[in-house]
Amino acid sequence: MNGTATMNGTVPGPRPGTWVERLCRATNDHDLDELTRCFAADYCNETPAHPARGFSGRAQVRKNWEQIFAAVPDLTAQVRWVEDGHTAWSEWEMRGTRRDGLPHLMRGVVIFGVEGEEATWARFYLEPVDADHDGVDAAVQRAIGTAGGPQ
């Protein structure tokens, strides 16, 4: 699932796409120190679909990933990305097996603002994959509150 593309413009210094590849490598290596170094001390993470989950700071990044690596010891990531200026648009798939034996599978998009060697902000849309077998009609009905049928 790896792929790279560049949109318009060039950015002096390290490119955001190179940073995304570094983050993916640190994730796959379970290198908590390197992963943490990928983020600015005042990093700001927004999660628009779940606003209460937003956070700031490199320390919270480290805390989150300590828990993730402990809970999914065989976690691996794949990423596709495009860059535009100081922004990297990335599509992630993260999979592994949780300690309780259940599969872990997340997919989604993260948009990162990158300055030099660090992400300074992100808009995070990565979610657990819904294994529900309902089709699009049922999903739309749930989303608009008519899951019992037309009203």
Picking from 94, 102, 107, the residue whose alpha carbon sits closest to that of residue 65 is: 94
Ordered DSSP codes for 73-124: TT-EEEEEEEEETTEEEEEEEEEEE-TTS-EEEEEEEEEEEEETTEEEEEEE
**d(C-alpha 16, C-alpha 33), whole Å:** 19
Do 46 and 123 contact (CB within 8 A), yes or no? yes
Cα 18 to chain center, whole Å?
A: 16
pLDDT in tens, 69-127: 999 999 999 999 999 999 999 999 999 999 999 999 999 999 999 999 999 999 999 99
> Which pLDDT score, from 0 to 100, does residue 148 have?
67
Picking from 39, 58, 29, 52, the residue whose alpha carbon sits closest to that of residue 118 is: 39
pTM confidence score:
0.85
Domains of the chain are 3-144 (3.10.450.50)
pLDDT in tens, 123-141: 999 999 988 778 889 888 8
